[in-house]
Structure 1
């Protein structure tokens, strides 16, 4: 130990960065050695194929970043409490710090860990960092959690957001480094199979890549309000995967965009609103944890959604062969890049839950398996918002017509050309990549005919509206 001081174990989770990191800043302020740790516990093991693979890429880059400042990332696999106790015994650490998580499973784990460590006389502290505002600090005038986004947006616009901390140039190393697993032995990308090779060129992991993306976005943010829904334009921030893994902190994005606004850049307000939309998802998940596992509105429990994953129409949706080009294009974009345009997500989700009358949990879990930017709160809220069972839902008016959506947001068909191969004399490379990314067992061929719609759109819409009307009357 440097100067005889016991080290602090800094438990990294979805916060793989050095700047804008309150737990790291608190560790540095003590002047004591720091042992950075990442634990591959049950919560990591249950992650879907794509986000788990993307996590592995992020850990690799983050480990190198720690090496650059004289530290290292200790990797351990197993029960979180058991591994932390072993590390405490091996290092003589008297404190464990971490950034808070807000999903039900993480809260249960962290509560258990904190209680057990405190009983042992270990100082266990959790810190903010994943959100702009802690969920319990934002409330209505009546002191209740928000259930509608717009009032929450109004409530937080004038609130102060603490400035992000700068990245350290050095971390004090302990006198003794505990042993670490080899990241490769965790096989975090095993479930991706051949899809990993296809998605890899679209991924730039790490904090520096996140900061570069933010700066690049600021060059085009002036058109964000108008372009963010266009499927055929690069109008979004592309920050979702970085925010999900904490490779960039929300305070960094908030303050950098605020500075651009002060300098006269247009379009910043629309983006800040989207950052608070992310906050709203976490606000709901924290206060109403059933968001991630069941209908947010319990009156939807009796709604007659199809829950058979092997139903022909569900299989067609999973394979991006619904016969509705913009729906299939969105799903194929996800299989090739690991991401999907947000407008496409809404169209795809609406088609599954409305026209195909399929339970939103099937779609939510599929996204959890396939998206490299998977986020537990945003994914759950997004699906329930579209399905009608969640907040701000207007089911009678939110049955997206995918044809008119495509005409409005992809007016020249560029998005379709990018992702649909069948029936085209010279398919794009991206469209062909879909057939290389998907399982061979699907037996898909780009030279095959494009399928007819599995459900006629007017018929599907009428069926959904009739079901909604029956539910309302009941």
Structure 2
């Protein structure tokens, strides 16, 4: 008799409720064995090299922590979990419960296949401090606005960690399992990952930037963010672990609210699973939008960081070369795509999903919808980010731009945000702006008026 643990988006050993539960079950069995399993995402081979490498780095770190005992499969768990579990002779498979549309469908299907051969899939815990769906109004309905959600979310928090004595577990290796390899990434950027790296990253953040987080987190040119989004997305650290170490200073309170935003979006997606790809506010589906095929040149300029707006281009180049983008920059480039170029938010969300190593379905979809004006915010469509002013405000000396837009390295200071005003500003091959922001802002608002009239 033995058990299996299915690692999903929880690639860590400590403060892992499901893994701790699986280890306790294994202790109660005669042979005390636990098989740790991991399945590559079904779309793994369609991901960008950097996203592939981010998965590889996380799983490799986990395997190192368990002396190479985590068995990795390049197979669909729906098609192979039952046969693997049967071969191993396990009585149950334990996993962390997922709350997004894809994850729910996967665990339901795997559970049914396992049940056919008399094996139970036990779903325990979540990758959130508060389980999506738990925060409710007094009448039992879900909370649709962030501020009241945050207040009620705080009341649901439980900081007690789940500790695992790793050495006491009889970890078992699947016979003849095969490892996976990755195509060599053409990017010079190396993704650092793993549970211990996440803990060190948080410790550095506490010393380096937490005190000034309320202000510095918006500066694209500064290291003012936590750099923990990858770790949270892959489950290398649990948000409960972070929250338990926060006090009540201004910086700590703002950081706590940022974690709550992640959980709010997970809650919204749980209650509205269709909004991962559809409009939260359906009326925005009726708006006139650019066509990704007919207007492919404009879309490609945005994707490749060749719009002629330095802050936008720096952010887009940061994405494709590092697999990450500053949160302020994410809002700016999203606004530019939806309200300057007039593409639907899903076009940008798909591009982010392809490249972001910290991709999270709820945060991605509803972060985009927040900026696009179709999300949970009360009246947001009139919020149109000016890409020039955003650059000047949040990269005042131009260091962020010069770091990623090498054609502008010859321009010093904040002048880099308007290189077309300089005699030699475009001399190194940087393009002129592909549009006039003021004109496109007015066009975007005119399109909003059209659907308001039709409604």
Output the TM-score relative to the length of structure 2.
0.90
Question: Residue 217 in 1 paired to residue 205 in 2?
Answer: yes
Whether 1:34 and 2:30 are equivalent positions in the alignment is no
Mapped to 1, the partners of 2:148 and 2:447 lie a distance apart of: 30
TM superposition shift of 1:266: 4.7
Supply the distance in 1 between the matched residues of 2:173 and 2:434 (Cα, whole angstroms).
Answer: 62
Structure 1 residues 10-21: aligned runs within 5 Å: 10-21=5-16
Tell me if the contact between 2:159 and 2:241 (Cα under 8 Å) persists in the aligned partners: no
Conservation of the 8 A alpha-carbon contact between 1:90 and 1:178: no
User: Post-superposition shift, 1:423?
Assistant: 4.0
CA contact (8 A) 2:407 2:430 kept: yes
**1:253 and 2:242 correspond:** yes
Matches within 5 A, 1:89-108: 89-108=86-105
Report the counterpart of residue 138 of structure 1 in structure 2: 135
> Of residues 443, 450, 453 in structure 2, which corresponds to 1:470?
450
Call closer, same or farther: CA 1:13–1:96 in 2, change over 3 Å. Answer: same
String of CA shifts for 1:415-456, please: whole Å, max 9, x gaps.
1222221143389xxx9xxxxxxxxxxxxxx97421111111
Whole-angstrom CA distance in 2 between matches of 1:336 and 1:318: 12
Deviation sequence 1:183-228 (CA, Å, 0-9, x none):
21xx3x46xx412xx221xx21111000001111111211111111
Q: Out of 426, 429, 451, which is 2:431 matched to?
A: 451
Task: Identify which range, 175-184 or 220-229, moves more after superposition.
Answer: 175-184
1:314 matches 2:299: yes
Match of 1:243 in 2: 232
Tell me the C-alpha RMSD between the 2 structures: 2.2
In the alignment, structure 1 residue 234 sits paired with structure 2 residue 223: yes
Going from structure 1 to structure 2, the CA distance change for 1:381 and 1:162 (only over 3 Å counts) comes to: same
Is 1:155 aligned with 2:152?
yes
- Shift in CA distance, 463/25, structure 1 to aligned 2, threshold 3 Å: same
- Alignment of 1:207 onto 2:195: yes
Q: Which runs of 5+ in 1 are unaligned?
A: 1-5, 432-445
Deviations 1:149-201 (A, max 9, x none): 111011112223242222433153367742211221xx3x46xx412xx221x
Mapped pair 1:279 → 2:270 = no
Structure 2: segments with no counterpart, 5+ residues: 417-425
For residues 36 and 128 of structure 2, what CA distance do their matches in structure 1 show? Answer: 21
Displacement after TM superposition at 1:46 (Å): 5.4
1:127-154 deviations in whole A, cap 9, x for unaligned?
1131111122111222222221111011
Contact 2:3/2:34 (8 A) holds in 1: yes
- Does the aligned pair in 2 maintain the 1:23–1:99 contact within 8 Å? yes
Distance 1:180 1:301, change over 3 A: same
Farther-moved stretch of structure 1 (228-237 vs 156-165): 156-165
Distance 1:396 1:40 in 2: 38
Contact 1:33 1:172 in 2 (8 A): yes
Matched residue, 2:379 = 394
Q: SS at the partner of 2:39?
A: strand
Q: Partners in 2 of 1:404 and 1:53 — Cα distance?
A: 35
* CA pair 449-135 structure 1, distance change in 2 beyond 3 A: same
1:380 aligns with 2:372: no
Q: Does 1:194 align with 2:189?
A: no
- With over 3 angstroms needed to count, the CA separation of the structure-2 counterparts of 1:327 and 1:174, relative to structure 1, is closer
Determine the C-alpha separation between the residues in 2 that align with 1:174 and 1:161. 29
- What is the deviation of 1:96? 0.4
1:366-425 Cα deviation digits (max 9, x unpaired) = 111111111111111111111111111534431011111122211222212222211433
CA distance in 1, matches of 2:331, 2:173: 51
CA distance in 2 between counterparts of 1:18 and 1:90 reads 25
Q: Secondary structure at the match of 1:126?
A: strand
**Does structure 1 residue 270 correspond to structure 2 residue 250?**
no
